[in-house]
Amino acid sequence: MRHTQARWFTSLAAPLAAGALVVSALAAPTQAAPSADAVLGDDLAAPGRVAAGNPATAGARQPRARSRSGGFSAQANGQTPVRREVVLRDPNPAHAAPSDQRRLRDVTVSQNVATGQITAQARFAAAPTAGTESILAVAVGHWDGSSCILDAALMGTAHATEAQGRFGDEDPFTVGRARSGATLTLRSTSAGARLRSLDLECAYASLYSAPDGETVYHSFYAESLEDVYAPKLIIRPGDPVQGNYAGKVTRIRVEVRNDSLTPATGVRLRAAGKSMKIAKPRRNLGRIDARSSKRGIVYKVRLKGKKPRKLVFRAATQGRTFTKRITIARKPKPQRYRSLAGRFFFGFMPARVDKGWDNRAVWFLNNRWAYVGHPKAGKRPKCRKATKACKRYVYRPRTGKVKIGRAKAVKVTTEGFRFKRASLSEKTLAKKGQRFNVALKRYDFNGNCLIYCNTWTEWLTLRKNGRFVLSRMDIGSIGVPGSGGQWAIVPPDDKGTYRVVSRGRVLLRFANGRKRRHLLAIDHDLRHRPSPQGAGLVLGDRNFYRD
C-alpha cells in the first residue's frame, strides 16, 4: 500500500498458527528476506509516480468530490454525515485468484464519523479454509491527484484469527476480527480520537498469500468514500383531522418523503389505532432515494364508535423509526342553521384551464341583508339599500333554504351551499385580539401556457408574538412563436406585526411603515370546527392552507 514517503511493507510472523500477526513499515524498498518481511503490495508504484494496475490509484472510476460535513449541501439541509462509506467492486484485472476461497466479491469500507471507528467487510466468493488461507489488507487515505495516499490500514487473516492496524507513520492500533461463512469483518477497536481526526477520502483493498504475502490473489482499485447521512423520513398523511360518516370508510393518501441526503432502504410503513379497522396496515415501500418521496400510498380506515381516535403512522428504515399522528373522527351529518345572521361563507368557482382560484364570498350581515363579494379593506360592510353587492335575502329555517336577491333559492347546511355556481362553506371570523401560530401556503396561476401563463406561490406566517411574514415567488413564460421566454420573480419578504382589531378584521403594520387592513377568517376542519393549523385562513380574498 502506497505511502507519501515510503512503500508500505508488512511482516507476517510465520507460522500464523503461533498466534501473532506483526505489521511494520520499512522505508527501504530493497528490504531483503521476503519470507520474514513479506511485501504486501509488491506491485505498487514508487513514491511520486503512478503505475498501471496500481490498486492505490483510481481505476475505471475517477476520484469523486464528496460533500463534507461542513459543505454547502450538508449545511443547507441541516444535516451532518453519520459515516463515510464505499463498496469496492472494481477489481484489478492483473490479479487472478486461484480459487473462490481467494476471490473477493466486494469489500465495504466505512468510517463512523462520530467515533472514528473504521470497518471493512469483505465478501469472499466461497468461505475460506485453513488450506486456502490468505491475508486481507484494506487501506484508507486521501486523494493526491489520482492516487489514494494511505493514512491507515486494517489487516487480518481470512481463516485464522490474527488482525492488526497501522497508521501511515507506523503507529499501531487494535483491530477486531470476525468471520461468518464467506464474510470477513475487520473493525478498529482503539485509537478513536486519531482515527476520527483523519479526513478520509478513499479506500482500496488487496488479498495476499499467507504466510509470506508475496502473491496478490485479488485487489480492487481505489474509490472515493461518500458521506452517508442518517435517514430522515417525513410522513405526510394529509389533514390532521380526517374521517367519514358513521360506518363509512375513510381513504387516507399518504406520502413518505426521505429528506436525507442519502437513500433510505428497506422502508416499511405501518398504521395502527384503537377502535378502527385498517385494511393492509403494513406496507413495504422499499428504497426511497435521497430528497425524494413515495406517493400514492392509500389506507382505508373505518372508525368504530363515535369517539375520535388517533391513527399512528410509523415508518422504519435502517434501525430508525419516524412517527406521525392524525385524528380519525366521525363526520357529522349536515345540519340546518336556525339563523344565518352574522355568518360568513367563502368559496370558489369551478376550475378553469386558464385560471386558478376564483374566490367568492357571502356575508350575512343580519337577518335581512347579505353582502356578496369581498369587503374592501377588511371593513364590515353596511347595507341599507339593494346594490350590486348588497342583497336582500330570505331564509327559511324549516326548509333550510335561502333566497339571495333574485337568485334561485338554494339549500344551506353546515356543509355549505352553492350560489351562482360557486361552492361556499362557512368560515369563522377571527376574534378581536386573537393570535395564531401558523405557516400556510397558497398556489395560483392564470393564462394559457401555450401563449402566456404565470404561476405563483404565496406563504403566510403568523406567530403568537404578533409578528407576520408574507412571501411570494412568481414563475412565468411567453409561448408566442418568435418571442418565447421565461422569468422568475422573488421579491423581498414583507414583515411586520399584526393585530385583530375587531371581529374579522386584521391590521398589518409593515416594517417600512405601511398599514393594511384585511378580512381575516378561519377555515373549518372535518367536524366544522375552526382550525387555523389544520384547515387554514382567509386573508382578504385569498385562501391560505396547509401544504
pLDDT in tens, the chain (547 residues): 333 322 333 333 333 323 333 333 322 222 222 222 333 333 332 222 233 346 777 654 455 545 443 333 444 456 889 999 999 999 998 888 999 999 999 999 999 999 999 999 999 999 999 999 999 999 999 999 999 999 999 999 999 999 999 999 889 999 999 999 999 999 999 988 999 999 999 999 999 999 888 899 999 999 999 999 999 999 999 999 999 999 999 999 999 999 999 999 999 999 999 999 999 999 999 999 999 999 999 999 999 999 999 999 999 999 999 999 999 999 999 999 999 999 999 999 998 889 999 999 999 999 999 999 999 877 889 999 999 999 999 999 999 999 999 999 999 999 999 999 999 999 999 999 999 999 999 999 999 877 889 999 999 999 999 999 999 999 998 876 555 688 899 999 999 999 999 999 999 999 999 999 999 999 999 999 999 999 999 999 999 999 8
| Per-residue cell: 367 | 337577518
In this structure, are residues 467 and 498 in contact, taking their beta carbons and an 8 Å threshold?
yes
Q: What is the pTM of this model?
A: 0.76
Question: What is the fold of 233-330?
Answer: Immunoglobulin-like (2.60.40)
Strands 226-229 and 202-209: unpaired
What does the alpha-carbon distance between residue 162 and residue 178 come to, in Å, rounded to a whole number? 10
| Burial class (CB within 10 angstroms; exposed 0-12, middle 13-18, buried 19+) of 376 | exposed
Helix ranges restricted to H, 26-149: 72-76
Query: Residues in the chain, how many?
Result: 547
- Give the H/E segment covering residue 150: strand 147-157
Strand partners, 208: 135, 216
CA-atom Rg of the chain in angstroms: 35
| Per-residue cell: 162 | 490474527
The amino acid present at 235, given as its one-letter code, is: I
